[in-house]
Amino acid sequence: GLGDVSHLPVSLKILFENLLRFEDAVTVTSDDIRALGDWVANPPDAQEIAYRPARVLMQDFTGVPGVADLAAMRSAVVDAGHDPSVINPLSPVDLVIDHSVMVDNFGTADAFEQNVAIEMERNRERYRFLRWGQSAFDNFRVVPPGTGICHQVNLEYLAKVVWTKMANGEVLAYPDTLVGTDSHTTMVNGLGVLGWGVGGIEAEAAMLGQPVSMLIPDVIGFRLGGRLGDGITATDLVLRVVEMLRAFGVVGKFVEFFGDGLDHLPLADRATIANMAP
């Protein structure tokens, strides 16, 4: 059997579904699936699995080298006498331009517009290159400057929660998951979307369809009860949560929040906790 899957933590159920969907007897084997399914009864010490996120999130500092690598691959394909249009990201990629913002003007009604105009001129060459990338590659979108910061745009506009696609003539629904090159990618966990930050090389590999190699993580449960009192903010709460997590030791682990306290936390507060808790 596949183990006591119904009692897995929610985060591991998402990983379990991912393994089932991509089982190929090579990168994902039946042994990997059984090891994760049996996690409750027999937590593995060092079982490595291949995880394939539904999409990749980038910001412009790491995204520009990624697009340059894709362009270099197309040039190599041309040199080999083949069609360069075959080179595209295999996983959907969203690149949010937010790391080039500098405050040159402030304190006036049109300060934002002035700063955006200066930013566009200052980064003209980079932005032209990214615009070319969006038009040249499939599965690649660029969110223009001035829209917002990467993890906030991801939470408010990009996250789907559930993806759908046609498979064998039927609609297949599966969880929205991602890796991102922004350290605050975890903010979207507050919406129930599994995601975390990775390095640029890992993100490029995922973009090209390669799985993220990871150990089956330990899951630390964090129970929240009651509700925030008057004058207590989500930031106050998360500072206490972080203090407790650091004392416990959660590096390389999943932290899953549960309890009736979640019923009294709106999405904005959950996102604050997810953003800062790592």
pLDDT digits 0-9 by tens, 184-197: 999 999 999 999 99
Going by C-alpha positions, the residue among 198, 177, 194, 185 that lies closest to residue 154 is: 185
DSSP state of 191: G
Buried b (16+ CB within 10 A) or exposed e, 34-48: bbbbbbeeeeeeeee
pLDDT digits 0-9 by tens, 257-271: 999 999 999 999 999
Q: Report, as an integer, the average pLDDT of 237-266.
A: 94
The span from the CA of 88 to the CA of 219, in Å, is 35
**pLDDT at 248 (0 to 100):** 92
Give the model's confidence band at 91: pLDDT under 50 very low, under 70 low, under 90 confident, else very high: very high
**pLDDT at 113 (0 to 100):** 87
Q: Report, as an integer, the average pLDDT of 201-224.
A: 95
**pLDDT at 4 (0 to 100):** 84
SS3 110: coil
pTM greater than the 0.75 cutoff: yes
Tokens, residue 19 = 């393994």
Q: Give all domains of the chain, ordered by start, each with its CATH number.
A: 5-51 (no CATH), 55-103+111-215 (3.30.499.10), 219-276 (3.40.1060.10)
**pLDDT at 62 (0 to 100):** 87
Q: Which residue shows structure tokens 């790391």?
A: 99
Q: Report, as an integer, the average pLDDT of 72-94.
A: 96
Buried b (16+ CB within 10 A) or exposed e, 214-251: eebbebeebebeeeeeeeeebeebbeebeeebeeeebe
Q: 120 vs 129, which has greater pLDDT?
A: 129
What average pLDDT does the structure give for the chain?
93
Q: Report, as an integer, the average pLDDT of 161-171.
A: 94
